[in-house]
Amino acid sequence: DAKTTQPNSMESNEEEPVHLPCNHSTISGTDYIHWYRQLPSQGPEYVIHGLTSNVNNRMASLAIAEDRKSSTLILHRATLRDAAVYYCILLQRGSQGNLIFGKGTKLSVKP
Amino acid sequence: NAGVTQTPKFQVLKTGQSMTLQCAQDMNHEYMSWYRQDPGMGLRLIHYSVGAGITDQGEVPNGYNVSRSTTEDFPLRLLSAAPSQTSVYFCASTKTGGLPGLGYTFGSGTRLTVV
């Protein structure tokens, strides 16, 4: 399975944009890029996913590099409630569909 | 609300006891899975199922048993609890595991302590 690399931790100020990077240099053409986040004492929560094009939803935006070897999750205005561990996961089309979690990036948001 | 329901939320077991963690979803999802999360770690896959009657092992299956007799339910059995199984357990589901264009829904977890 292709692996992802994320920084262990990041800090942001409230109401400022946050860019969470993810490297996946061994990504294959059929791998989807998924992002999940886990708030303290809760189960993971789906954030966004994409294949080749940039994606937007009500929670965040996903910017995918042209060569697909990296991606960035963008939170447009961080709130205290966005403090969580963010996981970048590759999911291969046609596989059993198992999400394989790394250690993720712990995002702290300062008021 | 529709979603993944896990019971119980908290459980304390003595070493050697057995128990079943329950997971139910009402979204008609074919794929369900179980994870464990140890303190400060990411989630590790225990077992998964791509449909009723079909189960398979994940990364850390030893000491756990599963069955999938209905689409809605995917119970996780601890055969003989050990302190090393102290963890938080999460159940997840999605419509079809082989379609990575869909998001996964997670339950709120069962916090298990084995003494």
Q: Which of A98, A102, A104 sits opposite B48 (nearest CB)?
A: A98
pLDDT score at B102: 75
Q: Are A48 and A58 in contact (CB under 8 A)?
A: no
Closest residue of A to B46, CA-based?
A: A98
A1 or A67, greater pLDDT: A67
The DSSP result for A57-73, as a single string, is -SS-EEEE-TTSSEEEE
Chain A residues near residue B106 by CB distance under 8 angstroms: 43-45
CB A71 within 8 A of CB A27: no
| Average pLDDT of chain B, as a whole number | 93
CA distances from B6 to A93, A105, B49, B59, B69 (A): 28, 26, 16, 21, 17
Q: What is the mean pLDDT of residues B1-30?
A: 94
Contact A97 B108 (CB under 8 A): no
Split at pLDDT 50, 70, 90, the class of B45 is very high
Peptide bond preceding B8 in cis form (omega within 30 of 0): yes
CB pair distance less than 8 Å for A101 and B103: no
pLDDT digits (tens, 9 = 90+) for B3-17: 999 999 999 999 999
User: pLDDT at position A2, please?
Assistant: 62
Instruction: Please report which confidence band the pLDDT of residue B98 belongs to, taking 50, 70 and 90 as the band edges.
Output: low
- Are B100 and A98 in contact (CB < 8 Å)? no
The DSSP code for B85 is G
At B40, the pLDDT band (50, 70, 90 cuts) reads confident
Per-residue pLDDT tens digits for A26-71: 998 888 999 999 999 899 999 999 999 999 999 899 999 999 999 9
Identify whether the C-beta of residue B27 lies closer than 8 Å to the C-beta of residue B71: no
Can you give the pLDDT at residue B101?
66
pLDDT mean over A10-35: 94
Name which of A43, A93, A101 is nearest B100 (Cβ-Cβ).
A93
Report the distance separating Cα B49 and Cα A76, nearest Å.
Answer: 36
| Secondary structure class of A94 (helix, strand, coil) | coil
Sign, CA dihedral B97-B103-B109-B112, equals positive
pLDDT category at A95 given cuts 50, 70, 90 is low
Tell how strand A70-75 and strand A61-64 pair up.
antiparallel
Yes or no, beta carbons of A49 and B31 under 8 Å apart: no
Question: Is pLDDT above 90 for B2?
Answer: no
Whether pLDDT at B91 is above 80: yes
CA–CA distance, B114 with B34 (Å, rounded to integer): 18
